[in-house]
Amino acid sequence: MFLSISSKNQSKKITTIGFYNVENLFDTKDNPNTLDDAFTQKGKKQWSHKRYRIKIKKLGSVISQMGLNRSKFPPAIVGLVEVENANVVEDLVNSSNLRKFPYGFAHYDSPDERGIDVALLYNKHFFEYLNSKTHPVYLKNEEGKRDYTRDILEVTGNLHGELIHVLVNHWSSRRAGQKETEPKRIIAAETVKSIVANIRDKNFDAKIIIMGDFNDDPTSKSVKLIEKAGFINPMISLWDKESSGTLTYSGKWNLFDQILFSENFKEKKEGKLYLKHAEVFNKEWLKNFKGKLKGSPFRTYIGKWYQGGFSDHFPVYAFLKKKD
């Protein structure tokens, strides 16, 4: 299908904002300070250099195609979670499908016990990086000791000349039970609200994007806390727990991966970016094509068994447009 001349011109004006949980993007080296032993060549995953290079290439292919159904270019910014270190992020931006685009990135090592971090890729043609920092999420375990988790990454820059703040999140999992772990995600949401308040103290009209794997759905209490702080969640219209989402667990869908926008992204002011809508990037080639997992994300591993897929999450993205 070919775009008309007018639609081609429109596609140039649309900017894609993306987010992707890349499922355990570890290198093959053992870090003695983290629990990454499984993802080494002698570990239980038998994580080889060949498997690593395959995953890097596949993830780069996904990111390079996100949003191209409406925009002429791949995402201007992409939040990433489950990356081990700066080296794997650098390998990703230098992969065969992404090296043609001038992606830079922001990344910091976090105190997570497994050594997984969050990061932000940005296309230097569209996003002018200004500064970045991290914010810890303070959790406690059952013994009252510090429970280390991923920091929240804050990146500030000019997107098409307009100042924005991006917060990249990876909240605590539900592995020990949804209700049992909910308080941890509530604390993460309250931390986000505090960061937002500090940004707005300096600039009340600041444009803010909050993205992440929240390990909660759009209707969950933690995510609703963010909404109530003055944010739009375009993912709500995509949420159908029976038939769609970004990941499956025990045969049921969840939409943990979301991008929220401060309410001033609704305003269609001349020369300003405004929110169009959001989508899940769930192309058929990203899915299992047979068996009991048919239709769910084609992942790298199922348990200890190597599958050679992409990730156990689908990416998500949203479109912004600048008012003429």
pLDDT in tens, 46-68: 999 999 999 999 999 999 999 99
Query: How many Å apart are CA 208 and CA 63, to the nearest integer?
Result: 22
**Residue 200 confidence (pLDDT) above 80:** yes
State mean pLDDT over 2-10: 43
Q: What is the pLDDT of residues 131-182, one digit of tens each?
A: 999 999 999 988 888 999 999 999 999 999 999 999 999 999 999 899 999 9
The whole-number pLDDT of residue 78 equals 98
The whole-number pLDDT of residue 9 equals 54
Q: Residue 204, SS3?
A: coil
Query: How many Å apart are CA 149 and CA 72, to the nearest integer?
Result: 37
Range of the domain at 125: 5-322
Q: Residues of 51-71 as b/e, b for ≥16 C-beta within 10 angstroms? A: bbeebbebbbbbbbbbbeebb
**Residue 324 confidence (pLDDT) above 90:** no
Give residue 7's pLDDT band: very low, low, confident or very high (50, 70, 90). very low
Q: How many domains does the chain have?
A: 1
CATH number at residue 161: 3.60.10.10
Q: What is the pLDDT of residues 231-274, one digit of tens each?
A: 999 999 999 777 789 999 988 999 999 999 999 999 999 889 99
Closest to 321 measured CA to CA, from 28, 67, 140: 67
The whole-number pLDDT of residue 263 equals 97
**Residue 10 confidence (pLDDT) above 50:** yes
Q: What is the distance, to the nearest Å, from the Cα of residue 304 to the centroid of all Cα atoms in its chain?
A: 24
The whole-number pLDDT of residue 242 equals 72
Give residue 4's pLDDT band: very low, low, confident or very high (50, 70, 90). very low
**Residue 207 confidence (pLDDT) above 70:** yes
pTM (two decimals)? 0.95
**Residue 2 confidence (pLDDT) above 70:** no
**Residue 213 confidence (pLDDT) above 80:** yes
Q: Residues of 115-130 as b/e, b for ≥16 C-beta within 10 angstroms? A: bbbbbbbbbeebbebe
Closest to 288 measured CA to CA, from 271, 278, 277, 302: 302
